[in-house]
Structure 1
Amino acid sequence: MTTPQARPLDLARQIVVLSAVSFMLISALLGTGFLGGTSVENSQSGSLDSDATYLAPAGPAFSIWSVIYAGLIAYAVWQALPGQRANPRQRALGWLIALTAVVNGMWLVAAQFWALPLTVVVIVLLLIALAVTFRVAVVTRTPSDGAVDSVLIDGVTGLHLGWVSLATVANTTAWLTETVPQEWGENPAAFGIPVLIVVGVIGLAMAWASGWRVTPGLAIGWGAAWLAVGRLTEDPQNTAIGVTAIVVAALVALIPLAVAGLRLLRPQGD
């Protein structure tokens, strides 16, 4: 099989990916307050804090960002190796992954300096970019090229997509809480439960459409489980939303794991 020849655009792609991930990390340091900015939970007058709405996960849920960032850093370094320069899969996905890193960083900038509605716009754009990237990675274009490729592209993108799917709900709810009439929030379960059910359906649909990849469901399940902790043990409390979140977390995480496990156990040729 002929090895593709590297082109100048391939080197440019590698540099852009490294630059995009670097921008995301600088924005993350700003978002934690390490570079003097306001931490995300304290920005937007506290609207993005874990206790601001009924659909916000408890604080520990956000530790998943450490895993996602570590994966993106590892990907950026790996794709910059000379052996990856002309890889057809990198050509298909490198620019898209760079885009997701840039938009990720832009959300942190938006949370710091822009109005709350603009954070919703940016996170929706991030969700769309991740959905396209994940589809290209697992459904169309080129197949994965080994375990490292699968983990750093399919796995990390799947975690990123799953978490941002739930984060989009939390971000949008934070904005609506600030804008809709106060009486709309008198029965939070009436909107919270249907929204969580939709999140669960979307999570299972992503797993099915991607050949039962497990990482999107694991990320959604992680966030939903901590959302349940928040509603059952912290303010604002709501037992119905908390219990629904537990059910959603179990379904989106365990069903893809079960299907993937059965496929591994199935004898070859069945």
Structure 2
Amino acid sequence: MLTMGVDMDKAWRIVVAASAVVAVVGGFLGSGAVVGTPIAQASGGALSASSTAIAPDGPAFSIWSVIYLGLVAYAVRQCFRTADDARHRAIALPATLSLLLNAAWILSVQFGALWLSEPVIVALLVVLVWTFVVLRRNPAAGTASGSGLVERVLTDGTFGLYLGWLCVATAANTAAVLSAAGFRGFGLGEDLWGVAVALVAGLVGVLLAVWDGGRIAPTLSIAWGLAWVAVGRLDGPLVSVPTAVAAVVAVAAVVVTTLVVRTRVGWVGGRSAARPRARVA
């Protein structure tokens, strides 16, 4: 029984590592650097920086380089973990699914099946929330292998960035799919819809910051994505000052909330550590 458990653990390490390779290859195809079509040009340009009012400007997508680098580092790290590392065992399945869904999203866009990209990216977002829940329930400080700091940076940091960016990317993808399908926002106009979606994305970021105790990584990627939405609406083919202002307000709200929550968590933790323990009779 023990041997079977160890073998299954080794199998999961291989599965995660192979999935990371698939995701990185998919990302390479999506970049259009050598083969494939850049995502902004695929599916008739439905995901370009000027496709909808909530589309981030082009440079925003450079965050994928950081995320992919982190995912590769995570995959390598989990290959050398100990067999009793419950934390990595617990996220093996959702992490694998996130990597494969990432590649599936890129393929759906590359082959012009934009409609298919929507359920895929929503599933990816759900899986990343699942991954983050598991990571929160199994704090890095309690891991059996490696340094807690390295673990927090490579695993929590990577999946935190991944989750935060997907919150913005899902909103942009949904807008692109609806626009490509002919939806015109009930005649309310790009400005109003842009403002509404930017504020909703900001609200998601605020709620995420409150829920996760003010973690930095998700806030960084959400703020990054919304900031580039603002840049894209102030310059380029699709200018929308109201959307840009709403995106900036959303960034400020997410950042301030994160700082406040982190400060409060640290203050409460400090008080708990300083409080003398009751004497046991």
Could you tell me whether the CA contact under 8 Å between 2:105 and 2:120 is conserved in 1?
A: yes
Residue equivalent to 1:134:
132
TM-aligned CA deviation for residue 109 of structure 1: 0.8
Could you tell me the TM-score, scaled by structure 2's length?
A: 0.88
Alignment check: 8 A CA contact 1:24 1:102 kept: yes
Residue 102 of structure 2 corresponds to which residue in structure 1? 104
Q: CA deviation at 1:33?
A: 1.6
- Alpha carbons of 1:157 and 1:263: their partners in 2 closer, same or farther (altered >3 Å)? same
Identity rate, percent: 38
* 2:274 equivalent in structure 1: 269
Distance 2:160 2:244 in 1: 25
Larger C-alpha radius of gyration, 1 or 2? Answer: 2
Aligned to 2:193: 191
* Alpha-carbon distance in structure 2 between the residues aligned to 1:73 and 1:42: 26
User: 1:127-185: per-residue Cα shift (whole Å, max 9, x none)?
Assistant: 111011111111x3x22131111112211111101101100111110111122354746
Pairs within 5 Å for 1:1-270: 7-81=6-80, 83-138=81-136, 140=137, 142-144=138-140, 145=143, 146-182=148-184, 184=186, 187-261=189-263, 263-264=265-266, 267=270, 268-269=273-274
Shift of residue 214, structure 1, vs aligned partner: 2.0
Displacement after TM superposition at 1:220 (Å) = 0.7
Task: Return 214-223 or 83-92, whichever deviates more.
Answer: 83-92
Contact 2:226 2:251 in 1 (8 A): yes
Q: Secondary structure at the match of 1:41?
A: coil
Offset at residue 223 of structure 1 (A): 0.3
Given that 1:220 and 1:253 are in contact with CA atoms closer than 8 Å, whether structure 2 keeps it comes out as no
Unaligned runs of 5+ in 1: none
Count of matched residue pairs: 263
Task: Supply the distance in 2 between the matched residues of 1:165 and 1:55 (Cα, whole angstroms).
Answer: 12
Residue 279 of structure 2: aligned partner = none
Deviations 1:91-112 (CA, angstroms, capped at 9, x unpaired)? 1112211111111111111111
